[in-house]
Every structure is written in structure tokens, then in C-alpha cells.
Structure 1
Amino acid sequence: MKGRPGTTRLCRNRFSSTTEFLRLSALVDKSQKETTDKLRIRSQLIGKWKNTLENAIKAMADEISTMEVERIKLRKSMVVLGVPESIAKECIEKRATRPDTELVRDQVEEELVNELALIAEIRRLLMKTLDDFNSQQVENRTARQRLEYDWSDKKESYEIDTLNTGLNNCSRTIMFRPGAVRQPPEQASEKYWEHFSMETLDECEKCRLKSVALRNTLNSTLMNAARDIRTQADVVEKALTSRINCTQEAVQRFENDLKNILQGTADVENRIEQMKRRINSFDASMKVAQTRMDNRSYRPNVENCRDLAQQELIDGVHTIQSSVSALLHELEEAERVKTDLVNSRARLEREIMLKRRSLFIDRERCMLMRSYYPSANTLSGAAVS
């Protein structure tokens, strides 16, 4: 009878132990299943974030590549900008060699100076834009690096949680890990983790959108710059063409005047020769009159008187002398006219020579150089390879 209570307790203990084991085993299995489910949910969440980061990294990498293409395009546009600048400078230098009175600050000169000023202003604008592009590329690469760091962390975390999700009591890699339950004091909360992940994406997206906006302004900047340069180039060429036409008209007018002067000079020279012949034609009459008077001076004694014949001879000589004097005066006047015409001819020939040299510089040098002026497409980078 005394041994029966011990047996009862033994049986009760056996039953209780078995029951408790089953209950605790079920509780542990349930906890492990819930943990597995939470790890699966967590790994799926991290996987989504990882995929989102991958898309963001790809978008940022594409933006960096596109920005680099646009940056190279901008740099080449700045190189092309040197062509019109060199043309304008060389035109000014060539026109500075215009001779004498042709060396004036005309409309062409003013427009060439304006062209150089415009090109310098556009170069400053493009330099500032290039600096903005360089700074933005630094920001873009920093943002991509930040995304890549976060993606790398999430990839590692995703792999760890995926591995943990697959662990069970039969796994070969499970073992006791002393201290694994300790929580590091610097461990972040899930709320902060989500805030950090969202902030990283938001900041990088803002950076990308800023880059897109800057890139979108480049085309308009280059197109406006190219349009302004081409417009000013057209103004210069219009002024140059007008100057060439004006110079050609002046040369034609001077050549016509020179032709008239040459004809006038020939006429005057003919008149001079004619006057000289006419003057010489009075020599015979003078000789006759003087011979008669000399012969009559030999009349003897009282016969040598001043009779009517003598008076007529004297008057005849005076008439011849006055006629010769009048013709000599006309001859002198004709000689002065000839001298004036010769001087005018020299001035006209010099003016024609100066204007032809100026015309050569404007038409054969400047216009030839400006025929190599880049198009608007080339200036904007559209035709730059």
C-alpha cells in the first residue's frame, strides 16, 4: 500500500512531462514558424527595396551616361565657337591693313566688334554651363554611390534573411551561437531603417531630376547661342556686302570720271597744239609788217616821213602783237586747265587704287574667310560628331 503513492506520482510525472514537452514543443514550433514567416516577409520587403534601388541605380547610371554625352557635346560646341571667333578677329586684322583714307571705323567694323563681344559673352555662358555640368556630375556620382552602398547592404541583408528563412531543425549549418541574442546598442529601429531607405531614394531622385532639368536647359542654351551668333554673322555679312557694293559703285564712278578727265585732257592738249599753231601762223604777218617798216626806214631825207602807210604799218604790228598776246593768254589758261586735269587724274587714280585695295580685302579676303563660317547646327552641337 505504501508503494502505490510513489507509483502514482511517477505515472503522473511521466504524463505531465510528456504533456509539457508536447505543449512546449508545439509552442517552440509555432514560434519558429512565426519567426520564419516574419523573416520571409522581411526578406520579401528587403527584396522589393533592393529591386527599387536597382532601378534607381540604373536610372542614375543612365542619367550619368546621358549627362556625359551632353557634357562632351557642350565642350565640342565650345571648340567650334573658336571658329567664328577666329574669323571675326582675322577680318578685323585684315581690314586694319586698309590703306590711307580707306582705314575708317565703318559699319562693318562696328558689327565685327559686336560679333566678337557676343562670342565672348556666349563663351562665358557656356563655361558657366560646363561648370554646372561638372558639379552636377559629381553630385550624380555621389548619389549613385550612396544608392550602391544602400543596395549592397540590402543585398547582403536579403541574402542573410533568405538564408535564415530556409533554416530548420534539420539544417546542417545550425549551431549554438553564444551571445547571438544580445542586441547592439547602436542597432537602428525599423522605423529609422525605413526612413533612411526612403530618404536615400528621395534625395537621389531629386538629384536625378535636377540633372535632367539642367540637361534640358542645355539644348535651349546652345540653340539660342547658335541663333544669336548666326544672326550677328548675317548682320556682319550684310554690312560687308553693302560696303563692297558701295566701294564698287565708287570705283565705277571714279573710273567714269577718270575716263572723262582723260578725254578732257586729250581735248585740251589738242587745243594747246592748235593755239600754238595759230600763234605761229602770225609770225609771217609780223615778218611782212616788220620787213616793210624796215625797208621804209631807208627812204632818203624828207621822204622818210610818217605817212598814212607808215601809220597803217604801225597799227598792223600792234594788231598782230595784241592778237598774239590774246592767244598766249588763252594758251596759258589751257595749260592751267591741263595741269588741273592732270592733278585730278592723279587724285582719281590714287583713289581708285586705294578703293580697289580695300575692295580686295573686303571681297577676296574677308568674304572668303566668312564662307567657312559654321552653320547654326554645327554651333549648337547638333552636327558635331
Structure 2
Amino acid sequence: MTCPDICPTSGTDRLPESKSENSNQDGVPTSVCSPYRPGCIQPPEPKVYPPNAPPRYLPQPTDTTSGDFLGMGSIDPWAAGHLDWTPQSGITGVRPVVDKYSMTRYSTRDWRLNNESVLTPRSVDKAKLFETNTKKQLAETFEEMDKKLNNSNNELDKRIKECEDWKAKVEKTLEAITDEINILDENRARLKGACRILMLPEAISRECLELRTQRYEPDLVRDDAEQELMREVAIVGEIRRVFMNTLAKVEEQMAMNKAAKATIETDWNDKVVCLKLDKENFNWTVDSNLILYHPAVVRWPENACTLEYWKHYCAESIRNCEEVRKKSEDLRGDLMTAIIKGSQDMKLQADRTNAAFGETIAATEGMCEHLEENLKNNLQTIADLESLIANLVATLSNMNDRNKLVTSRLQARNYDRCNVENCRDNAQYALMAEAKYVKEASQKFSNKLREAESVRADLMIYRGILEKEIACKRKSLYIDKDRCSRIRAHMPTPEEFAAG
């Protein structure tokens, strides 16, 4: 569809007369002499502009948007034969008709608009607006940057205080575990000293047992002292086993304590380094001479962790260290209990052994005194018996003389008397009775002498037995009273065990 008033499609089409005589549809007067007729030219009519109108070279409120303001039709002799200018000339790019007699390309309104465009300093306004906006943005940006800086400083200050709090807790924990390690090391040295001291009562007990094996056979008995010595050796072995097990636990706990200390020291060192860096960052300003440009740092490090995990790690590190320290304290209590109880048991067993030794020594001394008294009596009896034997020998010698006398008399009377004189007179009977009595007495006292010799031999044997028993008892007393008692006088006390 085309507008017949603007873009006619036929050369015979003409505007209605009534309309062409007044104005076009845009309100612009059109020529009434188209085609030309003589006498149609009208005098100029003054243009009326509204009050307070802008200058003539600027766009006016009465400007039209139509291009046929000269009244030139598309079929006039000077026209090009078609009209391709439309009110959308500034948008579509089409212009008014131009032929060889006219340079008309723009409308008056376009000219005035161009003047307005030229006179309006758009670049200056743009520059001023840009300057104003830029200064405002700079002020806002630096204000926001100051806020961000203050916020960063506040967060750094909070972080520094938080790190200082955790650092104080870690230092307290580190001091506690360090003191615990030192105390446990002292107790470990004390336990090692107790183990070394334990060698003394064990050696004493074994030495006493070995010394008592040197007793003579009648005294090689498993008496109370022997039983207590063997029990003492067994108790020493049990105490040594407890000490060695405790020492192994202490060594393991010491390794755990050192590992916990290394962990807490690493945490403390990290916090010291972090606190130093944060304090340096907090003290840095834009005027600091240590700040540089560092590219590619506005990113999370690969090994960065969350704040929750950091707090959890700090708390867990302290808690683990405290747990290890608590176990170490409990182990120290067990260690000292083992030392004290072990030393007390050793003391009680030593007292039991000493009491058994005392009873054995007292019994042996009493037996030895009684044996010595018996030996003394035996020796006196042997002396008396030897005197009796000597008397018997003298008596037998006298009886032998009497026997010689009577037998000589009988010999003489039996073989020297002659004939009838050799008779059985009273003298002969008396000599016969005397010879019989002397012989019987001699035989009797010979038997007595033999019996005396036998008794003397028995007394000598008994004397040997008594002397052997006395020597045995004195040997036992020497071993128990002199050797063992002197050795056992060096038994360590519980204070020595506790001191290590």
C-alpha cells in the first residue's frame, strides 16, 4: 500500500484541488500553480512563530516532518518523476528528490536539527559527566576500600587474638608435657636405679644360700632360714619382673610423650610463625616499604583447610597431648607404687629372713653350748675312766703277783713235799681257795678292764662325735651369724629403693 498524497504511482494522479490549494496532510502549504497557471502566484505570508520560541536556526515547534514543503510535485517539469523521501529520512537513509536544478537534500527541520547537534557540546557534557561519575566512583571505591581495609584489619586483629589464645593454651600444654617428660625421665632413672639396687638383695640372698651349702652335713637342713631365703630370691625375681615390665611401659610411654611433645611443638611453632605473619600483615599499610605486587595470589592455597577444621585440629592436638600426659601421670603413679611396694615387700621379707636367721642362730648357739658342756663332761668322764683303767691295770698287776705267790706256794707244796707230807691239810685248802679267789678276781677285773676299754673307746667315739657336731655348729654359726648376718646388714632400705 502506498500513500497517494506522498508517493503517487500514476503520472495522471493529482492531488485533490481543494487539498492542494490549502496544505498537505502535514500542514505545509503546497503550490496552487502546479501545473503552472498564470496569475496563481500569491504574495508571501509572514510566518508566525509561537512566543518564547528558540532561535530560527534551532528546531522550531512548527517544523514539519514532510519533505514537500516547496510544493514541488513529482510530475512537475523539473521533477525527477518520483518521490523517495519520507519522514523517516533520518532512519531509513532516503532523501528528498534531487534533480539537476536543485541541491536540496535535507529539510529545514534537518538543518535546524543539525545546527542543534553542532551547537550542543555532547562530548564536553559527556566528559563532564564522565569526570563527575568517575570522581564519585573513585570516592565510593576508596571509601569501600577503606571499609574493606578496616574490616580486614579487624578480622586480622580478631585472628591475632584468637591465635594468641590458642598459642597460650598450646604453650601451657607444651610446658605441662615437657615437665611430665622430665619428671617421667627422673622416675625412669629412679626405676633403673631400683633395678640396679635390686641386684644387691638378690646377690645377698643367693650368696647366703650358697654359703649355707657349705655347712656340714648334719646341718644341711631346709630350715626356716633356708625357706625364707628361697622365698626372698623368688620375691626378688618377681619384683624384678614387675620392674622390668614397668620399665618397658615407661619406655613406651616416653616415646609417646616425645611424639606428643613433637606434635604440640610443631603446632606451637606453626602458631608462632602464623602469629608473626599476621602481626606483620596487621602493621603493614599502603605506606610500608615492604609491600610489593604479587600476581596470582588471590586464590585459595591447595593445602588450605577450613576454619572449623583448624579449630578442631587445635582442640584435638591439645586433647591428645593431655590424654598422653594423663596416661604418663597414671604410669608414674604405678611406677612409684611398684618401687615403694616392692621395696616394702623386700624389707618385710628381709625382716622375716633375719628373724628366721635369728631363731636358727639362737637354736644353733644353744645346741653348741649344750654340746660343749657334754664334751666337757665327756672329757671328764674319759679322764676318770682312764684313771680307773690305770687303777685296774695296777690292781691286775697286784693280782698277778698274788697269783704268782699262791701258785708258787702250791707248786712248792704239791711237788716239793715228800711222801705222806704231801697231804690235803688246811693250809693246802686255804691256798687252793686263795688261788681260786685270786684267779676269779683277776678274771673279773680283766673283764672290767676290757669293759672299761670298751667304754673308753665309746667315750672317745662320742667325743669325736661331739667335737664334730661342735665344729659343725660352729661352722653353721660362722656362716649364719658371721658371714650371712654381716652380708645381710647391707640389705637396701625402702628409702634407698625410692631414691634410686
TM-score for the superposition, normalised by structure 1: 0.92
Question: Do the aligned partners of 2:193 and 2:497 also contact (CA within 8 Å) in 1?
Answer: no
Match of 2:205 among 68, 80, 88: 88
Identical positions, percent: 32
Q: How does 1:232-311 map to 2 (within 5 A)?
A: 232-283=349-400, 285-297=402-414, 298-311=416-429
Change (3 A) 1:96 1:9: same
Letter in 1 for 2:488: R
SS of aligned partner of 2:423: coil
The corresponding residue for 1:139 is 256
Match of 1:371 among 489, 492, 497: 489
* Alpha-carbon offset, residue 286 of structure 1: 4.0
Match of 1:27 among 134, 144, 162: 144
Q: How does 1:60-209 map to 2 (within 5 A)?
A: 60-209=177-326
Larger-Rg structure: 2
Q: CA RMSD in A?
A: 2.2
- Name the CA distance, whole Å, in 1 between partners of 2:138 and 2:426: 188
- 1:336 matched to 2:336? The reply is no
Change (3 A) 1:25 1:348: same
- Name the CA distance, whole Å, in 1 between partners of 2:271 and 2:476: 76
Greater alpha carbon shift after TM alignment, 241-250 vs 283-292: 283-292
- 1:314 matched to 2:428? The reply is no
Change (3 A) 1:359 1:4: same
* Alpha-carbon offset, residue 327 of structure 1: 2.6
- Name the CA distance, whole Å, in 1 between partners of 2:121 and 2:453: 172
Unaligned runs of 5+ in 2: 1-57, 59-115
Letter in 2 for 1:94: L
* Alpha-carbon offset, residue 303 of structure 1: 3.3
* Alpha-carbon offset, residue 173 of structure 1: 2.9
- Name the CA distance, whole Å, in 2 between partners of 1:289 and 1:25: 169
TM-score for the superposition, normalised by structure 2: 0.71
Write out per-residue CA displacement over residues 137-175 of structure 1, whole angstroms, 9 at most, x where no aligned residue: 111111111112112222222222222222333333333
Change (3 A) 1:137 1:306: same
Question: Do the aligned partners of 2:372 and 2:470 also contact (CA within 8 Å) in 1?
Answer: yes
Q: Which has the higher helix share?
A: 1
- Name the CA distance, whole Å, in 1 between partners of 2:281 and 2:489: 75
- Name the CA distance, whole Å, in 1 between partners of 2:485 and 2:476: 12
Greater alpha carbon shift after TM alignment, 291-300 vs 198-207: 291-300
SS of aligned partner of 2:179: helix
Change (3 A) 1:346 1:26: same
Letter in 2 for 1:360: Y
Letter in 1 for 2:258: R
- 1:360 matched to 2:478? The reply is yes
Letter in 1 for 2:484: C
- Name the CA distance, whole Å, in 2 between partners of 1:291 and 1:18: 181
- 1:42 matched to 2:42? The reply is no
Change (3 A) 1:173 1:321: closer
* Alpha-carbon offset, residue 345 of structure 1: 1.1
* Alpha-carbon offset, residue 103 of structure 1: 2.4
Displacement over 6 Å in runs of 4+: none
Change (3 A) 1:268 1:200: same
Write out per-residue CA displacement over residues 246-265 of structure 1, whole angstroms, 9 at most, x where no aligned residue: 11111111111111111111
* Alpha-carbon offset, residue 378 of structure 1: 0.8
* Alpha-carbon offset, residue 227 of structure 1: 0.5
- Name the CA distance, whole Å, in 2 between partners of 1:190 and 1:300: 160
Question: Do the aligned partners of 2:400 and 2:442 also contact (CA within 8 Å) in 1?
Answer: no
* Alpha-carbon offset, residue 368 of structure 1: 1.3
Letter in 1 for 2:436: H
Question: Do the aligned partners of 2:406 and 2:435 also contact (CA within 8 Å) in 1?
Answer: yes
Change (3 A) 1:186 1:310: closer
Question: Do the aligned partners of 2:181 and 2:257 also contact (CA within 8 Å) in 1?
Answer: yes
Letter in 1 for 2:338: T
Q: How many residues align?
A: 382
Change (3 A) 1:296 1:209: closer
SS of aligned partner of 1:178: coil
Change (3 A) 1:286 1:143: closer
- Name the CA distance, whole Å, in 2 between partners of 1:96 and 1:67: 43
Change (3 A) 1:316 1:141: closer
Question: Do the aligned partners of 2:156 and 2:278 also contact (CA within 8 Å) in 1?
Answer: yes
